[in-house]
Chain A
Amino acid sequence: MSDLRDLYQEVILDHGRNPRNFGKLESANRRAEGYNPLCGDRFTIYLFVDEGIVRDIRFEGSGCAIALASASMMSEDLKGRSEKDAEKRFGQFHALLTGDPSDREGAADPALGKLAVFSGVREFPVRVKCATLPWHAFEAALKEERETATTE
């Protein structure tokens, strides 16, 4: 049970139940879709990027608790960041998820802030894609890729 609680932390459950920044962004100037063919999860990320800054970010779609929470917390985390900084966040977040499961304490980069609650995901390798799906879609939106981003 304890490892399940590592994965499904209260903060994650809360964001999964009540995702923030959920819905279409009418003023968006960039958007992309993320799709996980394994489970059918699908997200659309809307961005309003101005002078290299992610001024606003919203998302739509459906997914598991991990994916929804990840999209929700990502949207909070990235709003106001520069494109470059946002890309760096994805790198840090990815490292958190795919690090050595036995090295949980060492891996939680203090710079990650709230996003560190996802550290439990590394013990569930098949769920890593759930957490990274919204980020892949975000990255695709930044680059304005036309194809749907997938986790595969």
Chain B
Amino acid sequence: MSGEIREAAAVRDGEPSLALDVKKVREDFPILKMRIHGKPLVYLDNAASTQKPYAVIDAYNVFYSGCYSNIHRGVYHLSETATKAYEDAREKARAFIGARGIEETIFVSGTTEGINLVAQTYGREKIGKGDEVLVTWMEHHSNIVPWQMICEEKGAVLRAVPIDDRGDLVMDELEKMLGPRTRIVAVTHVSNALGTVNPVKEIVRLAHRRGIPVLIDGAQAVAHMRVDVRDLDCDFYVFSGHKLFGPTGIGILYGKKELLESMPPYQGGGDMIRSVTFEKTTYNAPPYRFEAGTPNIAGAISLGAAIDYVAALGFDAIAEHESAIQAHAAEVLSSIPGLRLVGDARTRIGVFSFVMEGIHPHDIGTILDREGIAVRTGHHCAQPAVDRFGVPATARASFAVYNTREEVDALASGLLKVREVLL
């Protein structure tokens, strides 16, 4: 697929040399042909969830119609096929993030479950009274609340690294806040509300210098940039399939082998055990120790298809296309009278939160919707980050690989219409 895409781009003259033919990419996503209120759908809520290509939809369909059974159970043909497909998907996920082995690659229901798993197993064992957990002001609620819960239970303290007026982490503060009682640092790779790309490799280096492990919330990163957990040297990395063009209800928790092996199970049940008697149960090794019960088999297999799809496009091509769209969006948005961007980080991706003078984000959302444009409005499940900028809510346009310059322009016209209707 990527071969074709590159060829198509190469024959075009006089246009910026995008290695990715976005028209072709769009053909892979059936929903993008939809019309909303009579207008072509302009889907700009990719930070909330991404749309699905045929490759993913078909993988679901093929699995349920052609080779469905439970896994890790039967000796019959169907079960073997399903088990192999599930484990092949795990291998794809492993390679995708550069984990050393499949024992470091755990299927979870999504980023939220992955973080809860670490908080309730690793956290429960390591965090005690008076200890500290360090997060940041730009975390999604899913990287705040699980830590808050365990801190409350243990009498530990949740601390948050501040962000500056541009939406960057204040790194000096972060360094100062890494103390002798810090048991874990949990930080987002990319902010879902501000678009900030955090210097996670540097954060890991600083934390490790003091022997503190780091969990990275990769939910907003994986669809936009190559992630290499060995290069980052992070201890845990978590992401959701549905933000990577895959299905909902599936995600990946990466953990370093030596940490996972020392961790107790998260939930008890089938598949996570080695043997069970009423006196004593011995637990299975990672990753299975953390996958109790029949997992989301179809979700895992379809996530594998999504990973294949993204790999075929290639992150170089994706990044080149997205940075062109991002630059255009930044320019166009700044030309709208009364519009103020919330978050202007030095390193960022195409997630733009904004407010308009005299206009509430909710009204922006409704009027854009009538133009076929889907944006998110509200606090984006990152209330502290939005509060930090002194606004109760923002509107947010977030871009993915299938978005076009024309869609950026449609957003601009939509925003002018918002002014026309409301001002």
- A34 on interface, CB distance cutoff 8 Å: no
Bound CA span A1–B370, Å: 8
Contact B370 A3 (CB under 8 A): yes
Bound CA span A137–B368, Å: 29
B66 CB to closest chain A CB (Å) equals: 39
- A111 on interface, CB distance cutoff 8 Å: no
Contacts of B361 in A (CB 8 A): 39, 64
Give the interface size bracket for B toward A. Answer: 10 to 19
Question: Nearest residue in A to B383 (C-beta to C-beta)?
Answer: A40
What DSSP secondary structure best describes chain A's contact surface?
Answer: helix
A3-B370, A13-B422, A39-B377 as given contacts; A66 in contact with B392, CB under 8 Å: no
Contacts of B370 in A (CB 8 A): 1, 3-4
Contacts of B360 in A (CB 8 A): 41, 62-65, 67-68
Bound CA span A38–B362, Å: 10
Contact B362 A41 (CB under 8 A): yes
Bound CA span A126–B359, Å: 18
Residue in contact with A65 in the complex, picked from B377, B383, B393, B422, CB distance below 8 Å: B422
Contacts of B377 in A (CB 8 A): 39
Give the interface size bracket for A toward B. Answer: 20 to 34
Contact B366 A7 (CB under 8 A): yes
Contacts of A62 in B (CB 8 A): 360, 392
- B183 on interface, CB distance cutoff 8 Å: no
- A90 on interface, CB distance cutoff 8 Å: no
Q: In chain A between 1 and 58, which residues have their CB closer than 8 angstroms to a CB of chain B? A: 1, 3-5, 7-8, 13, 16-17, 38-42
- B363 on interface, CB distance cutoff 8 Å: yes
A41 CB to closest chain B CB (Å) equals: 7
Contact A40 B422 (CB under 8 A): no
A39-B393, A42-B392 as given contacts; A124 in contact with B362, CB under 8 Å: no
- B95 on interface, CB distance cutoff 8 Å: no
- A130 on interface, CB distance cutoff 8 Å: yes
A62 CB to closest chain B CB (Å) equals: 6
Contact B422 A8 (CB under 8 A): yes
Bound CA span A72–B377, Å: 23
Contacts of B363 in A (CB 8 A): 8, 64-66
Q: Which 8 A-B pairs have the closest CB atoms?
A: A64-B360, A64-B362, A40-B392, A40-B393, A39-B378, A64-B363, A65-B363, A39-B362
User: Can you name 8 A-B residue pairings with CB atoms under 8 Å?
Assistant: A4-B366, A17-B358, A41-B392, A42-B392, A63-B362, A64-B363, A126-B366, A127-B362
